[in-house]
Structure formats: C-alpha cells, structure tokens
Amino acid sequence: MCGIVGYVGKENAVPYLLDGLSRLEYRGYDSAGIAVLTDKGIETEKCTGRVAALRDKAEKHNFSCNLGIGHTRWATHGEVSERNAHPHVSYKGDFAVVHNGIIENYATLRDKLKDEGYAFLSDTDSEVVAHLLERDYNGDLISSLMNTVKKLEGAFALGIICKNLSDTLILIRKESPLVVGKGKDGFYAASDMGALCGVAEESITMNDGEIAVITKEKATFYLSDGNEVFRRFEKSNLCASSAEKGDFPHFMLKEIFEQPSATEHTYRFLSSSGTSSTEELSFLPSLLQTTDRIYIVGCGSAYHTAVAGKYVFEKLTKLPTEAVIASEFCTSSIPVRKNSLCIFVSQSGETADTLSALKKAKEKGATILSVVNVPESSIARKSHKVIYTKAGPEIAVATTKAYSAQLITLYTLAAFSGYYLGVINDGDFRYYMRELSCLPKKIKNILERENEIAEFGKLLSSESSIRFIGRNTDYAAAMEGALKMKEISYIPCEAYPAGELKHGTISLVEKGSITVALCCNDSIFKKTANNIEEIRSRGGDIILITTEKHTEDVTVINRKIIIPDTDDLFVTLLEAIPLQLLAYYTAKEKGCDIDKPRNLAKSVTVE
Ligand code: F6R
C-alpha cells in the first residue's frame, strides 16, 4: 500500500528517495513520485508503474537538492495516473505533500477550497492537504500546521516540504505510521522501517498526533497541542540482508524456505525451555482468570490462522472461541465484553481493518492481546499485551513465514492456556510441547521435496479453477491454500469444508475438474476420504495431501503429497508448506509477478 520517504541532509536527496521507494515496493503500489526543493523551487517527477521507471525519469533531471519527499501510491481515490500520483503541489507551488491513509472529509474540504478559487489537478483526497497548508500558512510553522491538521478527518501520515523553508522536512502522524531515521549525513523519513535499511543508524517511531520538524542539524518533535516533546533516537536494528533475495529467484520462495527458522525462533522465544514456566507468557495465568470467551481476529491469511487457532483453543482451553474477519468484527454486534480476550493477529501490525476492530473491542472493555510481526507497529502499540512473532521482515506480498509463525504462536499460546486453566494435565502439556518443538524439522523435511511438489504446480497452471477441500483443521489449511493460489496465480479458487460439497458445490464437479484435498486430520480421515471418493466417482481429479500414517490407505490416488505425521491440532501448519509451494510453482509456470501480485498490497492501511 502507499509508502512515504523523505530526506534532509548534506547529500543529494534523490538517490535516497529512489532507493527508499524501491525498498517500499514490496508493499504494493501502482505509481510513484518524488518532489525536491532546488534553486528553481519545488520540482516533481512522477510516473505510473514501477520505481525503476521513475528512477530513469528522475535521473535525467540531475536534480541538485538536499531536501525531498517521495511516495509509492496504491490507488484509492482516482484512477492510476501520473496526475493522481503523489507528491501533490499546492496552488501557488509553495508546498508539496505526500500522504498515506485517507482524508475522510476531503470532499467537503475540496468544495470549500474550490469556492475560494483553488484549482484541483487530481482526483485524490490528498491534494486538499497541499492547498490547505498553503492557505493556512501564517509565518508561524507549528500553529499553521496545527490549523491544517485540525481540519482533517481520518487516518493519515504526511510528508511535507515548503518552498520558503529551504532545509526543512515536516512530518505529521495520525494513526498511519511514520519513522524518522538518523544517519551519518542527515535525517530520513519513511512509513516503514524497511525503507531505512542500511542508511539510518538510529530511529524514532513517531507517536500518534506528533509533528516532526527536521532540518540538516536536528529533529524537533511537537505534540498535537503544539508543545515541544523530547524524543530520543534509539539504535536501529535494521538489517539490509532481509531485503535481499540471495540465491532465490523470488522473495516468496526465500521466505517459504525460511519457515523452519521462523517457526523455531518463534516457538523458542515463547516457550523458553519447553517447561511450563515462560517469561514471555507470564501474563497469561492472571489474564485467564477473568477470561470467559476468546475472539481471534484478523484479515486474509491472518484470519486463516484464527480459524486454525480456534480449533486448538477450543480443545485445549474449553473456552468458547470464535475466529472473526476483522472487517466483519467492525460491522456486527459480536457480544464482546469485559471478560472477553480478543487476540488480534497481524503480520504488518498496520492493517486498518484489524486496527478498527481492535479499537472497537477496546471500547467494549475487552483485553487486547496482539500477535504481530513488526515491532512498534500500530497494533502492537495499541494492545494491552503483545506477542511478537519471530519471522523477520517479510517482503513478498503473499505471506508465508509470517503466517506459519502466527500459527505456531497461537498453538503455543493455546497449550500454555490449557495448562494454566487446568484443562490439560502435565503429561498432555509436555506431549503438545514436544509436538510443537518438532514442527520446524518436519517443515524442513517437506521443503526437501520441493521438486516433487513443483511438478504438481506446473500441472495446475493450466486449470481454470481449483477447489480446495478439508474438514476442521484441514479446512483451515484449505482456506489458506485457496487464497495463496488465487492471489499469486490469478486462478479462481474456492475452499469448502469437505462435508459441505454435497450440499451444493458438488454440482461443479465434472470430468477433469481439479480438487486439492486436505486429508491430514486423523480423527476425520475417513469422512474426508468418502468426500474424495464422491468427487472421483464423478470424474473429478484429485491432488491429495495426507500424512505418512495414511500412505497405505490412499494407494488408489495417483497424485498425492505425503507429509509427516503430527497431532491433528497442528496439521494446518504442515499442510501450508506444500500448499505454498503449489501456489508458487503454478504462478511461476504462468509467468506471474509472484512477489508483487496485481492489485495487492503488503500492508493494507485503508478500510
Ligand atoms: C495473503 C496476505 C493477506 C494478509 C492480510 C492481513 O497472503 O498476505 O491476506 O494476511 O492482508 O495482513 P496483516 O497480517 O499484515 O494484518
């Protein structure tokens, strides 16, 4: 989704702006632009498509400038075009602005400004900010900025430069993230830590409502009431290597192969030595004393981890547990109360739908526990308790390693919760922990069979639609398998609980139509096996994913992927690995843009 960068310092701003935008490419975007302050005033360059094209255009100008802002846009208001790409410049050319988020009252503001004679060049909600900044400027920067901010409704992060403030970068944060970095030759700004990789040695994550006024020499922070506030730069732990593909052709494949370590680090971080005392979860016993119901909330793949987690929490804690799609949570009357524990799952920690649901749950007095991959993200900061998954930065838009780290986190959390609640005894607890500790190795084992799975992927690339079926924890995996396949290969896919097929969907089965059947949950193996036979007897083709223990039961099925055995509760995690590889190799065969699928964004910061 949209990304912001900014620079003020001793060096030319353009290389950082362009490199920073390249590092934000993974978030998903459709156009990009920069604005710099030169001796001619504010100059801009924009283009639709990739940052590489912007680089070609910008390099021709040979801009000489020490101050600038840049943006990658993911269209929300107005078509994908240069005209709508950021930065937007004010009427007289005094201000340029880049914006993330949505100005909800932009239409009213635009009408007012139009009445006053301001001409608009774009269809965006963001352009009103540029004109307002110019109109409200009274010579006193902070009071002028406050005047503008007061008029804006919605969530936003703004990067601003002003023609008359030759070495001043201005940043404003309301709900949408912004980070300020300090390097050897100046200050950097970005909507995402990733853009600061390799340039900033120290950083500050701006708080909601803060304004930062940054010159070559110093960064000054103000609260929303205009009072200055002291902020200390902290050493950044930014590692450029996570932004490199290494020997892998795509980030997605690299991240698929990072899953043994992502799950291992996450599990070890949470479970310490595998004993029943863990520092990271020491808050659990007292929290559980008052919990009578659990909601697990997320979007997309994070929601799928919630579905898988629901089965595990229900069995191990005996507490009623519901998995809820965050955007639905916001619009329904779910009976969240003081004694509800709401677990919000998010890789980015910035997903607007999840943030909105979190706010709603908080208002209702629920305890908020989040499972987040990005430290200092908005969801982490707004939660009562946070568990960080240890997947490391995830670059490919389609999540893989963050998804599996979320799963192992929910599993571990459920096992500890069940034990603390007295639902599972010491022996059972040790059994579940042992099973969990073996999962990273089993993932590695599946990855060793990449070539075999790749062949199935190639086969699927010519399909016009694919069904994914499973029951219970297998169904949670089917949902994720279908999403992964459709988002990167663009093949329409649907996931069904296997038992539901005969209630309607089986009418789609015809000779040669393809179903990926998940059949790893031992307790329901026979039932799903019956559903598979119902498909086969109607001429439908099957790719079966099952476990070693069932090898002998499935000899009649030619196309199958056999994965290691584990407890029924945890099969979803192991099933994800062949499903991710299937999606990857199908998309690769089709020549799709795997790391940056069309229309998608890594961090979805609009509702
Ligand atoms: C799918 C995918 C998305 C995200 C969803 C939530 O591969 O990546 O479905 O899972 O947009 O994002 P986060 O986890 O950042 O809240």
pLDDT tens, position by position, 40-84:
999 999 999 999 999 999 988 888 899 999 999 988 888 999 999
Note the CATH number of domain 3-242. 3.60.20.10
The atom number, within ligand 1, closest to the CA of 303 reads 10
Nearest to 537 by CA among 506, 577, 580: 506
Mean pLDDT of 266-291: 86
Question: What pLDDT does 242 receive?
Answer: 63
| Long-range CB contact pairs, 15-19, < 8 A, 24+ | 16/188, 16/199, 17/68, 17/69, 17/70, 18/51, 18/54, 18/55, 18/58, 18/70, 19/199
Nearest to 109 by CA among 91, 127, 90: 127
pLDDT tens, position by position, 341-362:
999 999 999 899 999 999 999 9
What is the whole-number distance in angstroms between the Cα of residue 558 and the centre of ligand 1?
34
Neighbours of 134 (CB within 10 A): 22
- The SS3 assignment for 55 reads helix
What DSSP line would sit under 57-112, residue for residue?
A: HHHHHT---SEEEEEEE--SSS-SSTTTSSPEE-TTSSEEEEEEEEETTHHHHHHH
Out of 74, 255, 299, 406, mutate this one to test ligand 1's pocket (max ligand atoms within 8 Å of CB): namely 299
Dihedral sign computed on CA atoms, order 95, 96, 101, 105: positive
Q: Is 254 a catalytic residue?
A: no
CATH architecture classification, 245-447: 3-Layer(aba) Sandwich (3.40)
pLDDT at 239 over 70: no
- Return d(Cα 179, Cα 157) in angstroms, integer: 10
Q: Are 100 and 59 in contact (CB under 8 A)?
A: no
pLDDT at 237 over 80: no
The atom number, within ligand 1, closest to the CA of 300 reads 9
- Is any ligand 1 atom within 6 A of the Cβ of residue 398? yes
Neighbours of 292 (CB within 10 A): 12
Question: What pLDDT does 274 receive?
Answer: 60
Nearest to 173 by CA among 213, 141, 200, 203: 213
pLDDT at 241 over 60: no
pLDDT at 244 over 80: no
Q: Is 602 a catalytic residue?
A: yes
Tell me the domain boundaries of the chain. Answer: 3-242, 245-447, 449-592
Domains 3-242 and 245-447 share a fold: no
The atom number, within ligand 1, closest to the CA of 603 reads 15
Report which residue type is found at 33.
Answer: G
The H-assigned helical ranges of 116-239 are: 127-136, 141-151
pTM of the predicted protein model: 0.81
Distances (CA, A) of 527 to 453, 531, 560, 562: 25, 7, 18, 18
Burial tier of 560 (Cβ tally within 10 Å: 0-12, 13-18, 19+)? middle
- Is any ligand 1 atom within 6 A of the Cβ of residue 351? yes
Nearest to 212 by CA among 223, 202, 225, 201: 223
pLDDT band at 599; cut points 50, 70, 90: confident
What is the whole-number distance in angstroms between the Cα of residue 301 and the centre of ligand 1?
5
What is the whole-number distance in angstroms between the Cα of residue 402 and the centre of ligand 1?
9
Mean pLDDT of 222-227: 93
pLDDT tens, position by position, 499-526:
999 999 999 999 999 999 999 999 999 9
- Is any ligand 1 atom within 6 A of the Cβ of residue 354? yes
Out of 303, 327, 343, 347, mutate this one to test ligand 1's pocket (max ligand atoms within 8 Å of CB): namely 347
Question: What pLDDT does 240 receive?
Answer: 52
- Is any ligand 1 atom within 6 A of the Cβ of residue 524? no
Helix (H) or strand (E) holding 447: helix 426-447
- Is any ligand 1 atom within 6 A of the Cβ of residue 377? no
Distance of CA 555 to the CA centre of its chain: 40
pLDDT at 443 over 90: yes
Return phi, psi of residue 598, to 5°: -60, 145
Of 46, 360, 382, 602, catalytic: 602
Distances (CA, A) of 460 to 89, 457, 464, 466, 583: 48, 5, 9, 8, 9
pLDDT band at 544; cut points 50, 70, 90: very high
List, in order, residues 6 or more apart from 448 with CB less than 8 Å away.
none
Helix (H) or strand (E) holding 571: helix 571-590
pLDDT tens, position by position, 554-597:
989 999 999 999 999 999 999 999 999 999 999 999 999 999 89
Distances (CA, A) of 36 to 16, 39, 169, 210: 12, 10, 11, 23
- Is any ligand 1 atom within 6 A of the Cβ of residue 299? yes
What is the whole-number distance in angstroms between the Cα of residue 347 and the centre of ligand 1?
7
User: ω before 87 within 30° of 0 (cis)?
Assistant: yes
Question: What pLDDT does 130 receive?
Answer: 97
- Is any ligand 1 atom within 6 A of the Cβ of residue 301? yes
pLDDT at 276 over 80: no
Q: Are 37 and 211 in contact (CB under 8 A)?
A: no
CATH architecture classification, 449-592: 3-Layer(aba) Sandwich (3.40)
Question: Which tokens belong to 465?
Answer: 């639609």
Question: Which tokens belong to 76?
Answer: 């929300």
